[in-house]
Amino acid sequence: MTGPWWRGAVFYEIYVRSFADSNDDGIGDLPGITPRLDYLKRLGVDAVWLTPFYPSPQKDHGYDVADYYDVNPEYGTLQDFDRLTQRAHELGLKVLVDLVPNHTSDQHRWFQAAISSPDDPHRAFYHFAVAPADGSPPNNWRSAFGGPAWERDEKGGAWYLHLFAPEQPDLNWWNPEVRTEFEQILKFWLDRGADGYRIDVASALFKRPESPSPARDLPEVHDVYRRWRNLADAYRPERVLVGEIFGSQRQARYIQPDQLNLAFALIPVPWNANRWKRWIEDDMHALHRPGVAPTWDLSNHDVIRHVTRFGGGSLGRRRARAALLLLLGLPGQVLLFQGDELGLEEVDLPPEARQDPIFIHTQGRYLGRDGCRVPLPWLKGAANAGFSAVEPWLPMPPGWDRSAVATEEASATSMLTFYKRAIALRRRLSPWLPPEIRWVPAKAGTLVYRRERLSVACNFQARLVRIPVRGRLALATAPLARLKDGWLTLPPNSAAWVDSAGAG
C-alpha cells in the first residue's frame, strides 16, 4: 500500500480521564494507558488520539489548558508521555495529541498576567472589551455552554470573551505573538514523538467581536494551517493534522495539500436508511478528490453513545454492529470512541455526579456529556469493574462490568470480537478496494453499495429482507444471515459483507 500512514486508518479516541487508572485515585492516567496499548493493537486500530492531558483546573476536563508544555500531575509526567509514545511506536501504533488553540484556562500564566493590570502586554493575547455604561456585555454572543460569551474581569472592569466556559478565555489570534507561541507548542510535542494533532475548535480561532455573530472560517485561519503544515512537513515519519471542523463542505476547504490532512467532527445520524445514504453521499461528494476521503465516526466524548441513540439494549447493539460494517466498508478513515468496541451505552448519571460545564452552566437544563465519559470496565466482578480500587471520578452504574474488556475478549460472540473481526477483514480486503463506492438499487429501508469485490448491505427495517447479491458471505452482524443461490437474507437491523472475488 502506498500513501501516508493515516490514509484509511482506524483511529481510536482515548478519553484519558476514563480509560485506565494506574494508581487507584479514581482518575485515568497516562501510565494506565501504556500497558493497555497491546489491547488496542489486538483490536486492530492504527492510531490513538489522546484527549488533553496538560495541566488544567479541569473546568472542561482538560480543554482548559493551563500549560501547553507539561502533563497534568493527575495524569503523570512528561516521561510517562515518552514511555507511552515509545511503547505505541514499538507496537506500530501512532499517537495523536489534542491541541486546544481557541482558548486557554483562566489559570494560564498569559491570562493571569492579562488580568493583573489593564496595561499588561498579555492583555492583547485575549479579547478584552470595555463595558457599556448600562452594565451589559459588549455584544450578544452566547457561550456554547450557556449564558453570555462575555465575563467581567473584576479587577480591570473590562469584559473578556469566552465562547465556552468563563474559565476558558478565547485567545486573540489577530495577535502575531499568539501565532508564534502556538508554533512553538506544535513543535514541542512533535519533537517528543507525537505523530500529529487533533486541533480543537479548528475553524473558529479568529473572530471579530464587532460582527453580529462569532463567524467561523475567516480567511486568516487558513494561513495559520498553512504555516502549521509547513512545520509538520519538516518531520519524518509523516505527521498528521486533523481539524475539528463540522460539515463536509466546510471540511473540504481545510483538507488541502497545504493545510490539514483530515477532519473529525461528528453529527449524529438517526437509524434511517435515507438519512444514512444522504450522510454518506454528502461526505463522499464534498471530499471526493484524489487522496482525500472522509473520516467516519459514530461516537466521541461530546455526544450520546450511539448504542443508546440507536434504541439502546440489544436493539441498539444490533444496530451498532450493522453501523460498524456500513462504515468500515467505506473508503476513508474510521474513528472509534473508547468503549464503542464494548457496546457501552450512555449512562444516566444522578445530577449530583454530573461535572460537565454544560450541565453546570445551564443549571441542569442540558444534561451534558458526562454520560458517555464513564470509565471503561476492564474486569467483571472486580471493584469498580477493574478500572480503579476506589470509586472513579464518574460513578459506574450497576452491571457496568457486564461488558468488561476481559469478558468481551473471552467471548466468540461479543461486540469486541465482532469489532476485531471486522477491522481485520477490512485490513485484508483494503488493497483490493477502490476509493469510490457504487450504490446498488435496493428496496426502501435497505442500503447496498459495492466497492469492486466487496458488497455491503444493511437492513434498517424491523423485518427480514432478501437482497440479490453474488459472492460469499464474508461477515454478517446477525447469526441468521444467509447467502444462498444469489440471495442474501438479512434479519432486521443487520448488515453483511459479501465478497465476490472469484464469483465473477
Q: Which active-site residues does the annotation give?
A: 200, 244
Give which of ligand ISL, Ca ion, none residue 340 binds (C-beta under 5 to 8 Å, depending on kind): none
User: Which of 13, 21, 98, 401 touches Ca ion (CB under 5 A)?
Assistant: 21
- How many residues sit close enough to Ca ion to count as binding (CB under 5 A)? 5
Could you please report the per-residue DSSP string of 199-221?
ETTTT-S---TTSSS-----HHH
Site track 43-82 with ligand ISL (rule: CB under 6 A), x = hit: -----------------x--x-------------------
Give which of Ca ion, ligand ISL, none residue 370 binds (C-beta under 5 to 8 Å, depending on kind): none
Helix (H) or strand (E) holding 229: helix 219-233
Phi-psi map region of 149: left, alpha, beta (phi>0 left; psi -120 to 50 alpha): alpha
Give which of ligand ISL, Ca ion, none residue 164 binds (C-beta under 5 to 8 Å, depending on kind): ligand ISL
Assess contact for 427 and 333: CB atoms under 8 A: no
Give which of Ca ion, ligand ISL, none residue 200 binds (C-beta under 5 to 8 Å, depending on kind): ligand ISL
CB of 205 to Ca ion, least distance (A): 32
Site track 227-246 with ligand ISL (rule: CB under 6 A), x = hit: -----------------x--
Pairing of strands 333-337, 472-476: unpaired
CB of 144 to ligand ISL, least distance (A): 3
Residue 486: how many other CB atoms lie within 10 Å: 11
User: Which of 50, 201, 433, 437 touches ligand ISL (CB under 6 A)?
Assistant: 201
| Amino acid type, 169 | P
23 touches Ca ion by CB under 5 A: yes
302 touches ligand ISL by CB under 6 A: yes
CB of 448 to Ca ion, least distance (A): 47
Cβ neighbours for 399, distance < 8 A, ≥ 6 positions apart: none
254 touches ligand ISL by CB under 6 A: no
Nearer of residues 36 and 453 to Ca ion, judged by Cβ:
36
User: Which of 5, 25, 36, 360 touches Ca ion (CB under 5 A)?
Assistant: 25
**Rg of the chain over all Cα atoms, to the nearest angstrom:** 23
170 touches ligand ISL by CB under 6 A: no
DSSP state of 477: S
Phi-psi map region of 493: left, alpha, beta (phi>0 left; psi -120 to 50 alpha): left
Give which of ligand ISL, Ca ion, none residue 457 binds (C-beta under 5 to 8 Å, depending on kind): none
Nearer of residues 80 and 283 to Ca ion, judged by Cβ:
80
Helix (H) or strand (E) holding 128: strand 128-130
User: Which of 15, 81, 150, 164 touches ligand ISL (CB under 6 A)?
Assistant: 164
**Cell numbers linked to 501:** 472475488
User: Which of 6, 15, 29, 122 touches Ca ion (CB under 5 A)?
Assistant: 29
Give which of ligand ISL, Ca ion, none residue 98 binds (C-beta under 5 to 8 Å, depending on kind): none
Percent of the chain as helix, strand, coil, to the nearest 5: 30, 20, 50
Cα distance between residue 466 and residue 480, in whole Å: 12
Block residue for cell numbers 449524529? 268
Cβ neighbours for 28, distance < 8 A, ≥ 6 positions apart: 15, 16, 17, 18, 19, 20, 21, 75, 375, 387
- How many residues sit close enough to ligand ISL to count as binding (CB under 6 A)? 10
Residue 399: how many other CB atoms lie within 10 Å: 10
Q: Closest by alpha carbon to 127, among 95, 163, 101?
A: 163
Nearer of residues 67 and 120 to ligand ISL, judged by Cβ:
67
Stretch that binds Ca ion, among 15-23, 173-181, 212-220, 320-328 (CB under 5 A): 15-23
Question: Is the peptide bond between 237 and the residue preceding it cis, with omega within 30 degrees of 0?
Answer: yes
144 touches ligand ISL by CB under 6 A: yes
List interacting residues with Ca ion (CB under 5 A): 21, 23, 25, 27, 29
Residues near ligand ISL, by CB under 6 A: 60, 63, 100, 144, 164, 200-201, 244, 301-302
